C-alpha cells in the first residue's frame, strides 16, 4: 500500500524543481556512491576516534575507578531509556526513512514534516511518562534486591528518555537532508569527550557518584542541542504544520509505517539492550557491568556498518522511489565487501590481542573472553550482509522485516532463558550471537528471493584467507611488555591483512581510498 500516485507525482515534480536539493540531479549512481563513500569515511573516522576515547573511558579508566555495580547501573539506565524510546518514538523513524522523499521541498520547509515529527514524538513521550508513573514503582521493587542502585537513579529515566527521543528525531531528520556525519560526530565522539571529563572529575574526587550520574544525563543532552542549533542555522527548523498536504492515502501509509516501525524498532534494540536486562534479572547489576565492558570490544566491529547504513538510507529511499535497482545492487554489494573487510580487520586484531586485553583489565573481568569472541563473531557475520537491513526497511518488504524481527525476539528470549542460567554472561553472548546471525541470514535470503540481490562473492572467501594468514602471523609473535606488544602485534596483523586486500584488489572502495591517499602523498613530495 502506497500513497496516491497522482499526489506523489506532484511531490516528485516539486523535488525536481527545488534548487536547494540539486544533489538529486547529479549523474545518479556515480554521484550517490561518491557522497556515500565520502560520508562513510568521515563517519567511520569519527566513530573510531570515539572508539579510542571509549577504550580509554570504558577499558582503561572505568573498571579501575567505578565498581562493577556502578558501571552496571549506568548501563541499565541507558538500556531502559533506549528501549522506552523505541516505544515512545511511535515508529516515526520508519516514516522519516521511507516517506521523506515525498515531502522533500526546501521552499515549503518540506511541507511541515519536522512539525509533524515533533508532534508525534511529544505524544509518544507523554505516553511513556504515563507508563512510568504506573509501572515505575513495580520496576524498582522488582530490581531492588539484585540492583540496589536502580531505585536511587531511576528518577533520571524521564530526562534520559526525552533527550534520546529528541536527538534521534533530529539526527534522522538531518540524515535525510544528506548529512549523516554530524550525528555520528556528536554521539560517537563529542559525548565520549564529555564523559571522559566526568570520569576524571570523579577520579579526582571533585564530584561524587551521584553528581557523576546527574552530569552524565546532562551530557546526553548536549549532542541534541548542538544538532538543533546546526539545523536552525541552516534554516531547516520549522515547526509549522501543513495538514492539507497529507492526503487520506498518505495518512494511511504513515500510520501503517509507524505501526510497523514500532515493532521493528523494538526488535532492533533487542540485541543491544535485552541482553543486559536478562543478565540483571538472572545475575545482578555487577555482572551487567562485566558483560558491558567485555562486549564493548566487539562493538568495534560494527562501527563501519553503522556509518554506511546511516548514510545509505536516504539514497536507498530515493532509489526505490525511482526503481533504480542498479544503484541499490551496487550499494548493497560494495557495502558488504567494505564492511566485511573492516570487520575482519578488527576481529582478527581482537583475537591476536586477547591476552593483552585481559592484562589491561582487573582480574574480575578475566572470565569474559568468550563474550568478546562470540559477540564479535556474530557482529562480523551480520556486518558481512552490508546494508541489507536498510535495503529491506526502505523497500516494499519493510513489513516482512518486521516479521523477521519477531523471530529475532523469540529466538533471543528463548536462547537467553536457556543459556544464561547455564553459562552466565557467556550464555548471554551465545544467545546474542545466535540470534544476530540467524536474523541477518534470513534478511539476506529474503532480499535475494524477492529482488535478486545478493551481497556475497568469492571476494569474501579470499578476504577470509588473507585474515587467517594475518592472524597466524600475530599469534606466532613472542609476548613482550604490554604496550609495545599491543602496538607491534596489531601492526603486524593490520599490515599483512591490508597488504593482502590491496594487492589482491579485493575492495574497490578501500583500494580507491588508499590510492587517493597515495596520490596526495606523491603530489606533496
Kindly tell me if the per-residue pLDDT of 100 is higher than 90.
no
**Angle, helices 275-282/68-88, rounded to nearest 10 degrees:** 130
pLDDT at 39 over 60: yes
Written as nine digits, the cell of 345 is: 580487520
Statement: residue 6 has pLDDT above 70: no
pTM: 0.72
**Tens of pLDDT along 152-183?**
777 888 899 999 999 989 998 888 887 878 88
Q: Work out the mean pLDDT of the chain and round it to a whole number.
A: 82
**pLDDT (tens digit, 9 = 90+) per residue, 240-250?**
778 878 888 88
- Phi, psi for 246 (deg, rounded to 5): -85, 105
Kindly list the distances between the CA atom of residue 296 and the CA atoms of 191, 388, 470, in Å, as whole numbers in the listed order.
16, 23, 23
pLDDT mean over 308-320: 81
Cα(113)–Cα(243) distance, integer angstroms: 10
State how far the Cα of 159 lies from the Cα of 167, in Å rounded to an integer: 12
Residues 6+ apart with CB under 8 A from 224: 163, 166, 167, 170
8 Å CB contact between 381 and 440:
yes
Q: Tell which phi-psi region holds residue 90, choosing left (phi > 0), alpha (psi between -120 and 50) or beta.
A: left
Query: Helical H runs in 353-368?
Result: 354-360
Q: How far apart are the first and last CA of the chain?
A: 59
pLDDT tops 70 at residue 422: yes
Domain-wise residue ranges, the chain? 5-456, 457-517
* Residues in CB range of 217: below 8 A, 6 or more apart: 156, 159, 160, 163
Amino acid at each position: 500500500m502506497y500513497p496516491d500516485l497522482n499526489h506523489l507525482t506532484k511531490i516528485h515534480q516539486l523535488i525536481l524543481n527545488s534548487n536547494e536539493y540539486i544533489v538529486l540531479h547529479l549523474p545518479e549512481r556515480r554521484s550517490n556512491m561518491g557522497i556515500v563513500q565520502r560520508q562513510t569515511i568521515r563517519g567511520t573516522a569519527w566513530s573510531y576516534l570515539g572508539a579510542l576515547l571509549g577504550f580509554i573511558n570504558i577499558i582503561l579508566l572505568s573498571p579501575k575507578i567505578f565498581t562493577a555495580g556502578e558501571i552496571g547501573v549506568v548501563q541499565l539506565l541507558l538500556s531502559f531509556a533506549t528501549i522506552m524510546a523505541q516505544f515512545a518514538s511511535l515508529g516515526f523513524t520508519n516514516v522519516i526513512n521511507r516517506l521523506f522523499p515525498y515531502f522533500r521541498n526546501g521552499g515549503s520547509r518540506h511541507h511541515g514534516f519536522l512539525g509533524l515529527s515533533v508532534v508525534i514524538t511529544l505524544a509518544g513521550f507523554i505516553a511513556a511518562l504515563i507508563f512510568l508513573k504506573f509501572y515505575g514503582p513495580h520496576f524498582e521493587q522488582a530490581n531492588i534486591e539484585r540492583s540496589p542502585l536502580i531505585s536511587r537513579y531511576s528518577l533520571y529515566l524521564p530526562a534520559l528518555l526525552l533527550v534520546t527521543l529528541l536527538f534521534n528525531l533530529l539526527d534522522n531528520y538531518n540524515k535525510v537532508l544528506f548529512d549523516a556525519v554530524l550525528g555520528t560526530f556528536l554521539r560517537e565522539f563529542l559525548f565520549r569527550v564529555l564523559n571522559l571529563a566526568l570520569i576524571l572529575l570523579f577520579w579526582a574526587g571533585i564530584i561524587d557518584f551521584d553528581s557523576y550520574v546527574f552530569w552524565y544525563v546532562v551530557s546526553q543532552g548536549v549532542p541534541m542541542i548542538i544538532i538543533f542549533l546546526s539545523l536552525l542555522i541552516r534554516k531547516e527548523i520549522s515547526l509549522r504544520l501543513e495538514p492539507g498536504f497529507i492526503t487520506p492515502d498518505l495518512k494511511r501509509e504513515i500510520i501503517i509505517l509507524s505501526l510497523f516501525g514500532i515493532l521493528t524498532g523494538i526488535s532492533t534494540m533487542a540485541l543491544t539492550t535485552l541482553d543486559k536486562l536478562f543478565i540483571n534479572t538472572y545475575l545482578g547489576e555487577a555482572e551487567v557491568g562485566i558483560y558491558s565492558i567485555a562486549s564493548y570490544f566487539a562493538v568495534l566491529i560494527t562501527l563501519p556498518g553503522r556509518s554506511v547504513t546511516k548514510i545509505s538510507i536516504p539514497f536507498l529511499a530515493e532509489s526505490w522511489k525511482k526503481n533504480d535497482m542498479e544503484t541499490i545492487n551496487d550499494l548493497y554489494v560494495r557495502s558488504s565487501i567494505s564492511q566485511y573487510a573492516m570487520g575482519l580487520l578488527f576481529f582478527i586484531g581482537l583475537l591476536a590481542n586477547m591476552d593483552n586485553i585481559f592484562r589491561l583489565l582487573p582480574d574480575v573481568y578475566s572470565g569474559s573472553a568468550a563474550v568478546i569472541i562470540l559477540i564479535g563473531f556474530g557482529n562480523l557475520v551480520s556486518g558481512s550482509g552490508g546494508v541489507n537491513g536498510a535495503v529491506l526497511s526502505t523497500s516494499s518488504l519493510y513489513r516482512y522485516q518486521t516479521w523477521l524481527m519477531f523471530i529475532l525476539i523469540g529466538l533471543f528470549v528463548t536462547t537467553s532463558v536457556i543459556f544464561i542460567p547455564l553459562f552466565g554472561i557467556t550464555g548471554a553472548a551465545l544467545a546474542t550471537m545466535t540470534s544476530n546471525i540467524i536474523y541477518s541470514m534470513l534478511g539476506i535470503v529474503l532480499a535475494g528471493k524477492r529482488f535478486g540481490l545478493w551481497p556475497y562473492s568469492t571476494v569474501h572467501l579470499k578476504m577470509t584467507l588473507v585474515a587467517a594468514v594475518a592472524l597466524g602471523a600475530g599469534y606466532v609473535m613472542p609476548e613482550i611488555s604490554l604496550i609495545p606488544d599491543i602496538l607491534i602485534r596489531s601492526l603486524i596483523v593490520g599490515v599483512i591483512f591490508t597488504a593482502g586486500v590491496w594487492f589482491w584488489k579485493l575492495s574497490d572502495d578501500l583500494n580507491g581510498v588508499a590510492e587517493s591517499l597515495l596520490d596526495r602523498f606523491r603530489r606533496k613530495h
